[in-house]
Amino acid sequence: MIYNFKGGGGWLKGVKGLPQFWRSTFYLFIATAGIHLFSLALPLTLMQVYDRIIPYRAGGTLLWLAVGCFVAFFLEALLRYSRAWVSNWTAAKFEHLVSVSAFNHILDSQLAEYEQEEPGVYLDRLGAIGTLRQFYAGQIFQATLDLPFACLFLGAIWFLAGELVWFPVAVILSFLFLASVLKFGYVRARANQLDLEDRRFNYLFELLAGVHLVKSLTLEEQMLRRYERLQAGAAFSGDRVNFWSSLPANIGTFFSQISLFGVIGLGAKEVINGNLTIGALTASAMLAGRALAPIQSAAGFWLRLSEAKLAREQLSKIAILEQDTLENAPPFPADIEGYIEMENVSYRLREELPDLLTDQNLTIQPGEAIAILGDNANHTTALMMLLIGALRPRSGRVLIDDFELQEWDLAEMTGVVEYVPQSGVLFSGTLLENLTMFEPSRTAIAMDTSALLGLDEQVANLPMGYETMVKSQANNTLPTGLIQRLCFARALISRPRVLIFDRANAAMDQDSERMVCEVLAQLKGHCTLVIVSNQPALTNLGDRVFELKNATLAEKEKLTFSF
């Protein structure tokens, strides 16, 4: 769950579930109250100096006032430091918890729904968490805590100067009206910026993923020109956003000066008439400026509130991703025999597309090996994804040992049901870490499995052996046959009860394919095998052979081939 970001609601709704959020907010409010109370020390001290100390030449009183004022300054500084520390810690905790929650939500989302968006879109949505951090726990959030204390300063002006308070009130209202007008420009500029940034991110991901094709076709110049246009649009939109977001601060300075000179001008008349002291006028002028400061910060917060709304909308698109696992689903049982059953299963990628499978039934006994032929890799891969629970059928049920996959937490299937894809993937790390999936305790069994698949000889030819580092674009730096063998070995390390082999021999050389066939033959009877391939050497391993054609899975007569 991504902390209540699903659906609508006010901007504060999203943090109600954060641990200790309200306690941190309480501490921040107490610190803010102390800061503003101690900030009254200087205006009140100046009032006493002008009205009492100077007229009566009370040097001793001045000394005590100065000491008290310096103590107030120290305590105010201490509270500001404490507030900054609590605020930064709360912001960091917010970002960590929400980022982990959002990323986990993406990982647990249904594969078909996830693939409807490009990776750059998800990165952009995760980036929205940094924006929300400022609103829920950062400096912008503090502006909301400062806002009530504007009334404290206005109340102090009323107490000292009476009706003179109406002038700073009028200035504040005028400033708020102007800020509300500026908000419309900011909202339009920010929405346009987000749209352009999405387009730029998607283009970058597409370009970097296909950079080898770009180089082979010598398209660098054309791609650069297109990126320049996208970057120019993003830069211009960023300039407009900065322009609108900086206006409240700049205009606030202007209104602050108006408030100061207005209070001094009107108050001077009252001083001349004997209705106000010079000290009270000086204190009122300082308090008028301080009353506008929280309003100015709050106006900037309100102006950018639309940005928080847009960020919440971005994050809510992650929150509404349908999950593979139902909430509170029990972990999938670790001790299974390997019985597989499909009951009237139909599947299609999207509603507007035809079925990849239509009302299919299939039963596989524990330890049985079946081979599946198919000319369309999308259809056969979809079938394999249904068998491991990565895809959900449009109708019907998929069961392993009478456990319906949709009702269980499939995270526990790792090591029980393993899938070997057509194109293997290695992660950043050493070859050994890729075999053990970064679990050092599995090193011994990983080495035994590697030897079984004849990997030792191939890996020995690499500069660092099993310590060879896998970096980005690993498929272009290591032989594809080696990568497929590594992925096959990784699947066998956990001794799975069900092994799905989906055309994983496509990129292998003849020796690698022979080795894989021998290992699969040894596995027959010890685990349930589902082999997707059109190669006779592999289909011959199946106790039964099926063909997937026109969304229909039909059993074929088994023929015998020699390798």
My answer on whether 225 and 357 are in the same domain is no
DSSP-assigned beta bridge partners for residue 357: 347
Number of folded domains that form the chain:
2
For residue 251, the model assigns a pLDDT of 83
Among 286, 319, 352, where does a domain finish? Answer: 319
SS3 525: coil
Give the least confident one: 116-125, 188-197, 469-478, 526-535. Answer: 469-478
Q: Please give the average per-residue pLDDT across 433-458, as a whole number.
A: 87
62, 209: one domain: yes
Burial of residue 433 (CB within 10 Å: 0-12, 13-18, 19+) is buried
- Residue 433, in any domain of the structure: yes
- Residue 341, pLDDT score: 94
pLDDT band for 2, please (50, 70, 90 cuts): low
| Same-domain pairing of 244 and 187 | yes
pLDDT score for 4: 54
Tell me: do 313 and 348 sit in the same domain. Answer: no
* Residue 1 confidence (pLDDT) above 70: no
Better-predicted residue by pLDDT, 197 or 267: 267
Q: Are residues 210 and 84 in the same domain?
A: yes
Q: What percent of the chain has pLDDT over 90?
A: 14
Is residue 408 within 8 A of residue 330, CB to CB? The reply is yes
Q: Is the pLDDT higher at 444 or at 21?
A: 444
| Residue 140, domain extent | 13-319
Query: pLDDT by residue (tens digit) across 100-150?
Result: 888 888 888 887 778 777 777 788 788 888 877 777 666 666 777 788 888
The 3-state DSSP class for residue 321 equals coil
Among left, alpha and beta (phi > 0; psi -120 to 50; other), residue 327 is: beta
pLDDT at 351 over 90: no
* pLDDT band (50, 70, 90) for residue 362: very high
Could you tell me the sign of the dihedral formed by the alpha carbons of 173, 177, 182, 184, in that order?
Answer: positive
| Structural domain ending residue among the three candidates 288, 319, 350 | 319
Please check whether residues 301 and 369 belong to one and the same domain: no
Residue 178 counted as domain residue: yes
Q: Could you tell me if residue 107 is inside a domain?
A: yes
User: What is the three-state SS of 128-163?
Assistant: HHHHHHHHHCCHHHHHHHHCCHHHHHHHHHHHHHHH
Average pLDDT over residues 362-389: 90
Nearest one of 414, 340, 339, 424 to 383, comparing CA atoms: 340
pLDDT at 474 over 50: no
Question: Is-contact 372 546, C-beta < 8 A?
Answer: yes
Q: What is the pLDDT of residues 282-299, one digit of tens each?
A: 988 888 888 888 887 777
CA dist., res. 454 & res. 496, Å (int): 20
Shared domain check, 385 and 299: no
Q: Is residue 288 part of a domain?
A: yes
162 and 270 fall within a common domain: yes
In the block, residue with structure tokens 């993923």: 209
pLDDT-derived band of residue 14, with 50, 70 and 90 as boundaries?
Answer: low
pLDDT of residue 10 exceeding 60: no
**pLDDT tens digits along 158-168:** 998 888 999 99
Same domain membership, residue 291 and residue 377: no
Q: What's the confidence (pLDDT) of residue 185?
A: 82
Q: Do 149 and 341 meet the contact criterion of CB atoms below 8 Å apart? A: no
Q: How far apart are CA 524 and CA 544, in angstroms?
A: 12
With 0-12 / 13-18 / 19 or more C-beta atoms within 10 angstroms meaning exposed / middle / buried, residue 312 is buried
Same domain, residue pair 19 and 122:
yes
Strands (DSSP E) along 334-391, which ranges? 340-347, 357-364, 369-373
Residue 432's φ and ψ, nearest 5 degrees, are -65, -40
Rounded to an integer, the average pLDDT of 339-368 is 89
Cα 237–241–245 angle (5° rounding)? 175
Least confident of 45-59, 108-122, 227-241, 539-553: 108-122
On the question of pLDDT at 472 being above 60, the answer is no
Who has greater pLDDT, 364 or 478?
Answer: 364
Together in a domain, 358 and 230: no
Element housing 252 (H / E): helix 220-272
| For range 81-102, the mean pLDDT | 83
pLDDT of 50 over the 50 cut: yes
CATH of the domain at 373: 3.40.50.300
- Residue 470 maps to a domain: yes
Answer yes or no: do 279 and 347 share one domain.
Answer: no
pTM: 0.69
The CATH number linked to 75 is 1.20.1560.10
Beta-strand ranges (E) seen in 413-460 are 417-420, 429-430
| Residue 324 belongs to a domain | no
User: Does the residue 563 lie in any domain?
Assistant: no
* Mutual angle of helices 139-146 and 119-136, in 10-degree steps: 30
In a domain, 234, yes or no: yes
Average pLDDT, the chain: 83
